[in-house]
Structure 1
Amino acid sequence: MKLPLKYIALLVILSLTGVFAYQAYWLTNLYRTQRSQMERNIREAMRMSDYNEMIVRVRRLQNDSSVQTEVTVSTGYDNERAFTKTHTIRSVRQGDSTRISIWERDASDTARTPQAALQANMASILFEKKNSTAELASNFQQGLHAGMDLLNEPDFAVFDSLLRRELHRIGIDAPYRLMYLHRGSSVDSSYTFTDTLAVEGTAGYRPSPQAVTYSYSYDMHGHWNYLLILEPTESLVLAQMAGILTASALILAILGLSFGFLIRTLLRQKTLEEMTSDFTNNITHELKTPIAVAYAASDALLNFDSGTDPAKRARYLRICQEQLRRLSGLVEQILGMSMERRKTFRLHPETFTPQEVIAPLIEQHKLKADKPAGITLRIEPENLTVYADRTHFSNIVSNLLDNAVKYSPGEAQIDITCREDNGWFVLSVRDQGIGIPHDKLRHIFDKFYRVPTGNLHDAKGYGLGLYYVKALTEKHGGTVEVRSEPERGSEFTIKLRMKN
């Protein structure tokens, strides 16, 4: 079953819309995922910078001149959860080296190694929550802070330097502002306060109203905070997705062009099918007419004693000859179109004067025209020659003359000019006919195309003449051009390369 073109176009459009919608949905979700991951990476960068800053302070303690320092800090879960953890940081001077050891104790054990403490309590911790590992790491880092900060306060400049490096590692080189805050309240909690202890970041940067704030607290009660202010990360996420976005846009563009080309091909095929149908109907009529006329003339000669009258016999024979010549020309043109598309098609160019080909054609068209026709020929210089296939050159000129006569209302006035122009042979055929509308000029060389004339069908044709002219001219390596004004006539110009 043959689907109408509009249903095919609808299916194609729906398919393309579905692909576009799915691609947009996928890219949107990917963008959201990337943005969330970027925010997590920023917070993790702050945590890692805080951890590395403590490592820097630990290394400084290794060079401390104190003999022994010990700080014990209790942290962890409350009594109801039956877990209490003690962190001990001990700095002991032994000879020329300093050893920093970290011990952990719980409520039932007064002296355990870190490994023993972890083994004793791992089962009760890991199954408390799905993020128990992250919680343990956070508690451990907060416990380290509680002990380290009593020995040596956090170095904000070091934290800023480490954070800058971490941000660069995850692809963020945007300007930022970093603040070190202390939040607290009175004993009776009647009022709270926030102190800004230090400010670092990119010089000259002023956060916009759209800037995003990331907070990181390194103590259990949220009193000590690092505040990072960045511009929205959308542009950074889009930059990271540039490769995916470019590939997706390219794929969508290819799909769009492919579907567009498919629709265009279907439309052209439909138009070609309509032209072919019109051509079949028209050519059938054109073939039947000379056959019927020649048959009637020959029948009159055979059956009505017209052969005894020399004048009638000559008249009927002339009619037969003219119709057979018309039929022969029509068949020859159709065969020429068929052969032109074959790979085995070959031209047989030779050098000859245009006069010897064009002059007989002028006489033939004057004789067969059903209206008065004035055709002039001008060749400059007189000895001008053309290098072309004689038969096809004759058919090209014949087609142009036939159109000039056919589309000239009343008496046909046609001027033919042959000249040389910088190594090119130039043939111009100008008439004073009805002309061609400007919006139709680009179609007149298409196969089977005829300029619409409404309900008027006085000009016979089958849309092959000008197609033949263009195809064979290009086979010769030449070009064809047309200039036309409605109601003022048309001029066709053929250019062929002259033989050196």
Structure 2
Amino acid sequence: MRTSDFNEVVLRINDLQKDNVEHGSVTVSAGYDADGHSLVTQQTISYTDSTRQDTIHSRTETSVDTVKTVGNDPEAVASSESGLDVLLKKQDSLKELLISIQQGIHSGVDAYIDVNLQRYDSLLTHVMKEHNLSIPHHTLLIYTGTRADSSIIYIDTLGMAGDSSYIPSPKAIRFDYEFNRHRSQRYQLIFEPIDSLVLKQMTGILVTSFVILLILGFSFWFLIRTLLKQKTLDEMKSDFTNNITHELKTPIAVAYAANDALLNFNQAEEKSKRDQYLRISQEQLQRLSGLVEQILSMGMERRKTFRLHPEEINLKELITPLVEQHQLKADKPVHISLDMKPETLVIVADRTHFSNIISNLIDNAVKYSKEEAELSIYCRQIGETVTIRVTDRGIGIPLDKQKHIFDKFYRVPTGNLHNIKGYGLGLFYVKSMVEKHGGTITVKSEPDKGSTFTITL
């Protein structure tokens, strides 16, 4: 407000300079007294009018720190020898001195030309915009009438500028600026609290901060998720290593023992013993070959050159021999029921890989059953869709492990106990081949109640 007032006074002085008429002169002197404690200001106005040519009106106002008194001491003006030292020591003193000079000039110019409130409001609005305060406001010019003892007689509004549509609320903020030495006139700026405006101006910063927080939150979540996933992968790796080591050592050890018996204990001379040991060695080598083939199948499945060889397959003719094989080789009683409609259900698939799919599901159901395995295989064709379900009443799969059972090398963790053989490749192979056939596979399981694997083609 003080800056706008100074600019308004300068513009009025420019207006006076453009007028060829000689109006008079204004002299303003300000300084500190001899003690350097009191601010003294003298203002002299002279007129060129013939009747007032020699008339001098002066008023001296003395300030002692923050307490201001009025007196008549023209000789004290600018007579301080230590005034400059005071200004250099206290910046507030310099500010107070400049304000006194500005008020003195203001009062002098007011004697020749009235305050232009509209111009002042325009200058004030410009300054407010420079400080990002583009808000509706009113600017008032107020006159205060006082008695000789400075008690207020009345207050009058001499003018109003600003936004005509703006109506101040009871919460409106008011700022006063007294611009003359007599404190009889002041500007009053009225506008609403700027809390909402500040928030509006900070919208960009707040939104940016919120986005950064979201990014940081997402990054933190992703990091935690990655660490947990890494921990799960480590568990899978450890479990797989334990199991695959055991699975590789067992057939090697058995085949080595059989071969050692033939070479070192004269077992080759007896044909029945020789055939028995050779058959044992062959079975163990087949186990190793099966493991190698499954691992190679996983590698081949990822190659772009991998191709299925689809053909029409009678599903019952495919499944029935698999059921008989698993019943014969199992080391526990196995009961498998086959429910197929129609009996002549035919699908188009790769015979070798689809046979492995069903065999793996039956093998898992038998291995993870309890003392006696009970399985049911359900096959239906509805329209163009074929559904195959393999259900067992085995140990089941915990809910938190079900999402991993189709992962490569994953087996439900059982610590270092290896009473159930496997490589963690079977279900990964099943899922991969089912998807290669354009189908899907899902699992539904409850611990101690069993599992159901559903293939949809």
Q: Under a length normalisation based on structure 1, what TM-score does the superposition of the two structures give?
A: 0.66
Q: 1:186 to 1:394 in 2, by over 3 A?
A: farther
The structural deviation recorded for 1:482 is 1.1
Q: 1:279 — aligned with what?
A: 240
Partner of 2:310, secondary structure, is strand
Q: 1:367 to 1:307 in 2, by over 3 A?
A: farther
AA in 1 matched with 2:4: M
Q: 1:348 — aligned with what?
A: 308
Question: Would the aligned equivalents of 2:24 and 2:46 in 1 still touch at CA under 8 Å?
Answer: yes
Q: 2:378 — aligned with what?
A: 417
Q: 2:64 — aligned with what?
A: none
Q: 1:258 — aligned with what?
A: 219
Q: 1:216 — aligned with what?
A: 177
Q: 1:483 — aligned with what?
A: 444
Output one character per residue of 1:48-100: Cα deviation in whole Å (capped at 9) or x when no partner: 378459858976x8999xx9472533335237599988788999xxxxxxxxx
Please state if 1:438 is matched with 2:394: no
Q: Aligned partners of 1:335 and 1:464: how far apart in 2?
A: 11
Please state if 1:370 is matched with 2:326: no
Partner of 1:463, secondary structure, is coil
Structure showing greater radius of gyration is: 2
Q: Aligned partners of 2:423 and 2:178: how far apart in 1?
A: 87
Q: 2:267 — aligned with what?
A: 305
Q: Aligned partners of 1:472 and 1:193: how far apart in 2?
A: 101
Question: Would the aligned equivalents of 2:387 and 2:454 in 1 still touch at CA under 8 Å?
Answer: yes
User: Unaligned regions of 5+ residues in structure 1, if any?
Assistant: 1-42, 92-123
Please state if 1:72 is matched with 2:25: yes
Q: 2:169 — aligned with what?
A: 206
What is the aligned counterpart of 1:326 among 280, 287, 292?
A: 287
Q: Aligned partners of 1:291 and 1:254: how far apart in 2?
A: 54
Q: Aligned partners of 1:172 and 1:57: how far apart in 2?
A: 28
AA in 2 matched with 1:247: T
Please state if 1:240 is matched with 2:201: yes
Q: Aligned partners of 2:24 and 2:363: how far apart in 1?
A: 112
Q: 1:172 to 1:207 in 2, by over 3 A?
A: farther
The structural deviation recorded for 1:404 is 0.9
Question: Would the aligned equivalents of 1:427 and 1:493 in 2 still touch at CA under 8 Å?
Answer: yes
Q: Under a length normalisation based on structure 2, what TM-score does the superposition of the two structures give?
A: 0.71
Question: Would the aligned equivalents of 1:51 and 1:141 in 2 still touch at CA under 8 Å?
Answer: no
Partner of 2:451, secondary structure, is strand
Output one character per residue of 1:1-45: Cα deviation in whole Å (capped at 9) or x when no partner: xxxxxxxxxxxxxxxxxxxxxxxxxxxxxxxxxxxxxxxxxx5xx
User: Unaligned regions of 5+ residues in structure 2, if any?
Assistant: 34-38, 50-83
Q: 1:290 to 1:455 in 2, by over 3 A?
A: closer
Partner of 1:415, secondary structure, is strand
Q: Aligned partners of 1:419 and 1:297: how far apart in 2?
A: 47
Q: Aligned partners of 2:442 and 2:46: how far apart in 1?
A: 97
Q: Aligned partners of 2:215 and 2:330: how far apart in 1?
A: 54
Question: Would the aligned equivalents of 2:142 and 2:186 in 1 still touch at CA under 8 Å?
Answer: yes
AA in 2 matched with 1:195: I
More divergent stretch after superposition (397-406 vs 217-226): 217-226
AA in 1 matched with 2:307: L
Matches for 1:383-398 after TM superposition, within 5 Å: 383-398=344-359
Percent identity over the alignment is 50
The structural deviation recorded for 1:217 is 3.2
Output one character per residue of 1:210-242: Cα deviation in whole Å (capped at 9) or x when no partner: x65433333346543223344443443343343
Partner of 2:250, secondary structure, is helix
Q: Aligned partners of 1:213 and 1:242: how far apart in 2?
A: 26
Partner of 1:435, secondary structure, is coil
Q: 2:4 — aligned with what?
A: 48
Q: 1:34 — aligned with what?
A: none
Partner of 1:333, secondary structure, is helix
Matches for 1:164-175 after TM superposition, within 5 Å: 167=128, 171-175=132-136
What is the aligned counterpart of 2:155 among 184, 192, 195?
A: 195
Partner of 1:346, secondary structure, is coil
Question: Would the aligned equivalents of 2:26 and 2:109 in 1 still touch at CA under 8 Å?
Answer: no
Q: Aligned partners of 2:154 and 2:439: how far apart in 1?
A: 87
Partner of 1:77, secondary structure, is strand
Q: 1:167 to 1:440 in 2, by over 3 A?
A: same
Matches for 1:97-116 after TM superposition, within 5 Å: none
Matches for 1:398-477 after TM superposition, within 5 Å: 398-421=359-382, 423-453=384-414, 457-477=418-438
Q: Aligned partners of 2:14 and 2:382: how far apart in 1?
A: 92
Please state if 1:295 is matched with 2:274: no
Q: How many residues align?
A: 411
Q: 1:22 — aligned with what?
A: none
Question: Would the aligned equivalents of 2:240 and 2:424 in 1 still touch at CA under 8 Å?
Answer: yes
AA in 2 matched with 1:489: G
The structural deviation recorded for 1:397 is 2.4
